[in-house]
Amino acid sequence: MPGIEITRAIHDGFAGTLEPRVDAFIAALEAHSMSVGIPAPSEAPLVEAIARAGGMAAVTIIDPPAPAAPPEPDVPPPLLIAKLVVVERIGMAGKLREARAALQIGKPDDDLSDAALMLRERWEAASTIAQDDAQVRGFLAALGLDPDAILGA
pLDDT in tens, 55-65: 999 999 999 88
Mean pLDDT in residue range 141-152 = 95
Q: What is the pLDDT of residue 72?
A: 87
Q: What is the pLDDT of residue 23?
A: 94
**Element at 130 (helix H, strand E):** strand 128-130
pLDDT, tens digit, 9 for 90 and up, residues 20-62: 999 999 999 999 988 888 999 999 999 999 999 999 999 999 9
Residue 1 has pLDDT above 50, yes or no: no
Mean pLDDT in residue range 92-112 = 93
Q: What percent of the chain has pLDDT over 70?
A: 99
Using the Cα atoms of residue 86, residue 88, residue 90 and residue 92 in order, give the sign of their dihedral.
negative
Q: Where do the domains of the chain lie?
A: 4-62, 80-151
Q: Which residues contact 151 (CB under 8 A, 6 or more apart)?
A: 81, 86, 129, 131, 133, 136, 137, 140
Q: What is the pLDDT of residue 2?
A: 61
CA contacts within 13 A on the Cβ side of 56: 12
Alpha-carbon distance 82 to 3, whole Å? 67
Alpha-carbon distance 143 to 97, whole Å? 11
Residue 78 per-residue DSSP state: P
pTM (predicted TM-score): 0.51
Alpha-carbon distance 71 to 122, whole Å? 34
